[in-house]
């Protein structure tokens, strides 16, 4: 009897992944800590920690607050800067057979443009333009919360981008489809969504905000229904691939996002609870495909029956 075969590979606007599970930017750092627990080559890709032109210390502590179904974070894009990433982290990541997605942030359009210029000449496989981080006072969500802002940044960086350009969208808007369409029209090769939902937590004993930055981004299981809905809506209006994220913890969650219209997914917060979440999600997806006679992941994308 022949063993059943499944094709887990995906191609997102030229970004080739062995499977559709990517470590989301922010929670995975640059992969060094998790590399001690499992082979990073199991992953379809790694979206590295958000990068800026210069090193950034991030926001004042406390920067993490647990919620009943997730976490709030206000890390504030702490990172060593793009040049240190290229020098110190890419050689480490290239030891593994996985795609490297650089997450680029900026305070101004000019900074985004410079980031894309630098990363286009670096040994990365794709660039994720972060237009959605709610934890910084300048740039990011200031651009990503309007169609005009997204159009301005994406159209400026696209001529210099030599790699597949993914635009990461914020859920903290009235109409996510309007933003996705703006990104597509301006030249995005794919969109990723959702970033965190803006929230806060209060310590009633001290009557003070728990986070040093007062507000932060909510991630984890609590945001999954919102993320799933937005991925479904966006996939119906754009022709470019959609990468889904938000509350994904296991293989079943992955299948849900694929059925909703995602071509690939990113997993982040789940790794804080279960550091093997990515590997288990890949295994769970493969098991689902075998049990349901799916030969290719592409068969699942957009396969929701309504």
Confirm whether residue 269 is marked as ligand binding: yes
Give me the DSSP letters along 36-61: TTS-GGGSSEEEPSPB-SS-B--SPS
Side-chain-side CA neighbours of 243 within 13 Å: the count stands at 35
Confirm whether residue 261 is marked as ligand binding: no
Confirm whether residue 179 is marked as ligand binding: no
Confirm whether residue 50 is marked as ligand binding: yes
Confirm whether residue 106 is marked as ligand binding: no
Active-site residue, from 133, 140, 161, 294: 133
| Partners of residue 15 on adjacent β-strands | 12
Active site residue 133: yes
Side-chain-side CA neighbours of 85 within 13 Å: the count stands at 29
Confirm whether residue 27 is marked as ligand binding: no
Confirm whether residue 168 is marked as ligand binding: yes
Confirm whether residue 195 is marked as ligand binding: yes
Confirm whether residue 70 is marked as ligand binding: no
Confirm whether residue 151 is marked as ligand binding: no
Residues recognised as catalytic:
133
Per the annotation, binding residues for FMN are 25, 49-50, 103, 130, 168, 194, 220, 246-247, 268-269
Binding region for substrate: 49, 73-77, 130, 195-196
Binding residues are 25, 49-50, 73-77, 103, 130, 168, 194-196, 220, 246-247, 268-269
């Amino acid at each position: 009897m022949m063993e059943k075969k499944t094709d887990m590979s995906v191609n997102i606007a030229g970004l080739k992944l062995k499977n559709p599970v990517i470590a989301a930017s922010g929670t995975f750092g640059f992969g060094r800590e998790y590399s001690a627990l499992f082979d990073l080559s199991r992953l379809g890709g790694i979206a590295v920690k958000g990068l800026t032109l210069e090193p950034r210390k991030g926001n004042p502590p406390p920067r993490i607050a647990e919620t009943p179904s997730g976490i709030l974070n206000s890390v504030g894009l702490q990172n060593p800067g793009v040049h240190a990433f290229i020098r110190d982290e890419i050689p480490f990541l290239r030891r593994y057979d996985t795609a490297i997605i650089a997450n680029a942030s900026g305070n101004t359009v000019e900074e985004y443009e410079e980031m894309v210029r630098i990363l286009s000449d670096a040994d990365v496989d794709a660039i994720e333009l972060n237009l959605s981080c709610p934890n910084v006072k300048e740039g990011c969500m200031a651009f990503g919360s309007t169609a005009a802002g997204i159009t301005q940044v994406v159209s400026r960086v696209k001529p210099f981008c030599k790699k597949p350009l993914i635009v990461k969208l914020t859920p903290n808007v009235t109409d996510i489809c309007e933003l996705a369409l703006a990104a597509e029209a301006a030249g995005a090769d794919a969109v990723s969504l959702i970033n965190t939902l803006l929230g806060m937590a209060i310590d009633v004993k001290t009557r003070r905000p728990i986070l040093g930055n007062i507000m932060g981004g909510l991630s984890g299981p609590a945001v999954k229904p919102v993320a799933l809905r937005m991925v479904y809506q966006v996939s119906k209006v754009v022709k470019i691939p959609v990468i889904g994220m938000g509350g994904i913890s296991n293989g079943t969650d992955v299948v849900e996002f694929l059925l909703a219209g995602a071509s690939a997914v990113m997993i982040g917060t789940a790794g804080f609870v279960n550091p093997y979440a990515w590997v288990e999600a890949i295994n769970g997806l493969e098991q689902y495909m075998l049990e349901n006679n799916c030969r290719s992941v592409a068969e699942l994308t957009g396969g929701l029956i309504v």
